[in-house]
Amino acid sequence: MGYREDVKMIKALADENRLAVLESLQNGEKCACVLLEELNITQPTLSHHMKILCDSGLVEYRKDGKWMHYSISKEGSEKMDEMLCKYISVPTVESSICKSCE
């Protein structure tokens, strides 16, 4: 993944409502009507946040009648794990020694 895709995923996490959605989806797929009730937000607000989460690849959806059902994307979750390791993994002692300072 490139920086642009990484930023899209990071921005998707940078909101309290979206974090609450992801936490709620940890228990499995949920209908939008359930998320609306749990989060106590309006339908347009939920739609806005779900679009961002789906566009980032962290959440996937399926339509059932007039309702959308959302779940955490296994692929998106794996990409997020890889991305975090790329930027914030702890270096080994050998790799943290500056060769110029020796």
82 and 46 in contact (C-beta within 8 Å)? no
Mean pLDDT calculated for residue range 89-96: 68
For 8-24, the pLDDT digits (tens) are 999 999 999 999 999 99
Mean pLDDT calculated for residue range 42-51: 97
For 77-89, the pLDDT digits (tens) are 999 999 999 998 8
Domain containing residue 15: 3-101
How big is the chain, counted in residues? 102
CATH number at residue 59: 1.10.10.10
Give the Cα separation of 12 and 18 in Å (integer). Answer: 7
Q: In this structure, is the dihedral angle defined by the CA atoms of residues 17, 23, 29 and 35, taken in order, positive or negative? A: negative
- Domain count for the chain, please give it: 1
